[in-house]
A and B are shown apart, each in its own frame.
Chain A
Amino acid sequence: MATATQVTTALPGTLRLGWERTRFELRTYFRERDAVVFIFAYPVIMLAIFATVFGQDGASVDVGDVQIPFAQYFLPGMVATGVMLSSFQNLAISIAVERDEGALKRLRATPLPPASYFVGKVGQVLLSSLLQTALLLAVARVVFDVPLPADAARWATFAWVFVLGTATGSVCGVAYSSIPRSGRAASAVVTPVVLVLQFISGVFFQFDQLPAWMQQVAALFPLKWMAQGMRSVFLPDAAEQLEVSGSWQLGMIAAVLLLWLAGGLVLGVRTFRWRRRDDG
């Protein structure tokens, strides 16, 4: 007789394995030079460059008699960019590579529950982007003297924009990971999308000074709304009148992000594959 099922009990729990995966993912993430430079450190590097170049001789963005130093003006966009890189770009590339190299197929052959794999990804994204944002804020505060908000209401806004943005970026990243045809092509297929969004979403430029059509295109994508939400957190109240609509539009931000979250989720669930496309 074939041996009876002697191990129906004692399978490790899904959440425990999710945490095990999170630790494993974090450890290997910080060992990949590409990821550390182009995802983790990128917003900090860009903030330093932009604040230094545009902020020479104390130049600032002026709203009436309120002067916003360039470092402060760029900070919200960089925070939003960091969230997008750590969630969307990170997952879209890393999952495409894992699929192409056979890591996903290998995991599928083990008793690791698929849910634990995704918990591990979410954990890695959350913890690395929290660390990234903390680093970004610390550099802005210490090196560029950017004042950080002191009131709880702004930090509450920060928290929900951050969490919702991370969730949206993550599910969209999972869905997008099915597009690159190989692991080698993944960076080339993902990075330009992110870069274009950064340019049209007001990360590198003042959003209100972009051509109207570009603003309208950007408004279709989440990054513009994440940056706008972060501006409401890190810029003085007076800056609200610089917005195209004249308002921070917090409700609209939540709505757009939730819409992308739902869309990405549906698409991700339908398209996720453990194997390469050419592998049946």
Chain B
Amino acid sequence: MPGAALEVIGLRKRYGDKQAVDGLDLRVDLGEIVAVLGPNGAGKTTTVEICTGFRHRDDGDVRVLGVDPQRGDRAWRSRIGVVLQTNNDLAEASVGELVRHFARFYPHPRDPDEVVDAVGLREKIGVRARQLSGGQRRRLDVALGIVGSPELIFLDEPTTGFDPQARHAFWDLIGSLRDDGTTVLLTTHYLEEAEHLADRVVVVDRGTVVAQGAPQELGGRDARQAVVRWSEGGGVREERTDTPTAFVAQLGARLGEVPGLEVRRPTLEDVYLTLVDATPDDGEQS
């Protein structure tokens, strides 16, 4: 079993009278891609900011690459990459200048040109950051996050505001990080994103983990039962079953061609919505 890149045990953080993180446990193994999923205000960003050393925790134990982030030094910082939520800084420098500039901060950076290629900004290398589209801008953020060749990268809601095409290009980029052996912790509230990218999904709600597992297994066996739906006797009938094939064969034997037959697996979204409290929580800081 590979070692842990990140280990969080019993994390707690309170802002005023709001318990943002409430006893959260999280483990990310080396080489793994883990998506932290949850509604706004669930505590995702706070957890990431504690793990990257931006915030102090109230309670709990946190180890990132074996180091307590509150004591993280330059050597530790050079081993992690952090891509925070949407920024519009550094407007007057070009893509190429920024990637080269940030590469110099690190002891063992990647080749800046290769990084620009990897994020698909080759054609924009001489363009200033302020002239980039939202999706290009975000890919620049990722370029600056990976140019130091981090062992572990944090991506906080990396594709918020992307069009579908940009999102797919971005997913390919994260896939290539996996191929390089980089460990990735990303937060998102897009279910397809978690499903597409992650080895493991961790669902967080109200500051604590409510479920985790591979995207196909999330929610356990019961939540994964197939739903068979058909028309009979003037109404729609529905049956949940572990053995849909056998069930449909029986139906067929009894009814011949089954009217209105539909066999459906619950989507990750269905599972997710049963996991998190459906009432929207207007959390200020997520």
Contacts and interface: CB of A to CB of B under 8 A. Distances in A.
Contacts of B77: 109-111
A9 B107 contact: yes
Contacts of A280: 15, 49, 55, 285
A35 to B, nearest CB: 10
Contacts, number: 95
Contacts of A12: 104-107
B74 interface: yes
By CB atoms of chain A within 10 A, which of B74, B82, B144 has the most?
Answer: B74
B127 to A, nearest CB: 13
B282 to A, nearest CB: 16
Interface string A105-122: 110111111000000000
A2 B106 contact: no
A2 B30 contact: yes
Contact of A111 (B74, B92, B101): B74
Interface size class of A (residues with CB under 8 A): 20 to 34
Given A7-B79, A9-B107, A11-B78, A101 B89 contact: yes
B30 A102 contact: no
B19 to A, nearest CB: 15
Contact of A101 (B15, B87, B105): B87
A45 B3 CA distance: 64
Interface in B39-68: 49, 52, 54-55, 63, 65-66
B93 A24 contact: yes
Interface string B128-169: 100000000000000010001001000000000000000000
A10 B78 CA distance: 11
A110 B148 contact: yes
A98 B66 CA distance: 31
Contacts of A102: 84, 87-89
Contacts of B93: 24, 27-28
B105 A111 contact: yes
A32 interface: yes
A13 to B, nearest CB: 11
Contacts of B88: 101-102
Contact of B105 (A32, A98, A112): A112
7 contacts: A7-B107, A7-B108, A20-B101, A27-B93, A101-B90, A103-B89, A110-B106
Interface of B: 3-5, 15, 30, 49, 52, 54-55, 63, 65-66, 74-79, 82, 84, 87-93, 97, 101-102, 104-108, 128, 144, 148, 151, 285
